[in-house]
Amino acid sequence: MSNQTTVTEFLLLGFSDVQELQILHFVVFLVLYLASLVGNLLIVTAIALDHRLHTPMYFFLMNLSILDLGSISVTIPKSMVNSLMNTRSISYSGCVAQVFFFLFFASANFALLTIMAYDRYVAICEPLHYEMVMNRGACVQMAASAWISGILNSALHTGNTFTISFCGGNTVDQFFCEVPQLLKLACSDSYINEVGVIVFSVCLALSCFVFITMSYVKIFTTVLRIPSEQGRHKAFSTCLPHLTVVSLFLCTSSFAYLKPTSSSSSALNLLVAVLYSVLPPMMNPIIYSMRNKEIKGALSKWMCWRLFSTNKMSIGLLR
């Protein structure tokens, strides 16, 4: 395989060649996927239907859940289908689409988490200006900027990745098309541009990380000056879910992309990929709803309304 024009498909890394283990992998991934799907859809539904949750914080949370839904839908279904059909192949165009959409959702996710840190900063450090700064128009523009930045970053990466020449075969050492694993297949003199793009993206990511860190330094400084213990607890409780989600996202993705790909075993690559591609989308709804009375109340209200409507319809049919 001398260059990228001869590549018509890639072979993804399978979890096992044993049929029983392939079925087990399908079942486990199906459970994880459904859990993430249900959790994020419940968050979106609760926020959309309850007017009390039509605030900047919950507006950004709804966007985060939509991005999580997209992120996990890019990788998991294809892996499940491959296990069920006992195949490892993915078409060239399918691999391009997987790289583009995964990077898009991941980039937009991090940009949105940065915006959410700014929202918490304004709410706690500048409460008198909160409604003016975080008005409806500003929130829509911030969310749109996160989505657009994700598209631009993903297009830049995808374009650079698939213009390189592949001289190392077509076997991707991962269960989905991942840029670092694709670069291992590149000719030594053809991936310099993509390395430059990666360095640029890392600098942007570090800028977001520094912004989040500075925001929370100012938030904690302000919170510690609050005289009442109840006030401090309330302020911390509004920041804790976001801080947990940011930590989970950064820890899993940093470990995945900073570890040396050349010396990593296939089993370790699979484990790390599952951690950073599956765990955050599945855990985010749990993290945000576990200590959030407003979301719990909205979900309970919506479920009670659904049950009441179903029972009322059943009684009407019986009559």
**Got the DSSP string for 109-128?**
HHHHHHHHHHHHHHHHH-GG
Task: Look at residue 84 in the predicted model and tell me its pLDDT.
Answer: 86
Conformation bin of residue 169: beta by default, left when phi > 0, alpha when psi is -120 to 50? left
Backbone angles phi, psi at 310, to 5 degrees: -65, -45
Supply the mean pLDDT for the chain: 83
Maximum C-alpha span of the chain: 77
pLDDT greater than 70 at residue 171: yes
Q: What is the dihedral of CA 224, 226, 227, 233, to 10 degrees?
A: -80
Cβ neighbours for 135, distance < 8 A, ≥ 6 positions apart: none
At residue 194 the predicted structure's pLDDT band, cuts being 50, 70 and 90, is: low
Closest CA to 215 of 76, 113, 296, 91: 113
pLDDT greater than 50 at residue 1: no
Look up the pTM and report it: 0.86
Distances (CA, A) of 153 to 74, 76, 96, 129, 239: 17, 22, 14, 32, 28
Task: Look at residue 290 in the predicted model and tell me its pLDDT.
Answer: 65
Task: Look at residue 2 in the predicted model and tell me its pLDDT.
Answer: 42
Task: Look at residue 6 in the predicted model and tell me its pLDDT.
Answer: 67
Task: Look at residue 111 in the predicted model and tell me its pLDDT.
Answer: 94
At residue 263 the predicted structure's pLDDT band, cuts being 50, 70 and 90, is: low
Element (DSSP H or E) covering residue 10: strand 9-11
Task: Look at residue 114 in the predicted model and tell me its pLDDT.
Answer: 94
Q: CA 317, CA 309: separation in Å to the nearest integer? A: 12
At residue 319 the predicted structure's pLDDT band, cuts being 50, 70 and 90, is: low
pLDDT in tens, 57-84: 999 999 999 999 999 999 999 989 988 8
Which domains are delineated in the chain?
11-310 (1.20.1070.10)
Q: Which amino acid is at 39?
A: G
Give yes or no for a contact between 123 and 57, defined as CB atoms under 8 angstroms apart: yes
Task: Give, in degrees to the nearest 5, the angle at Cα 243 between 240 and 244.
Answer: 85
Conformation bin of residue 18: beta by default, left when phi > 0, alpha when psi is -120 to 50? beta
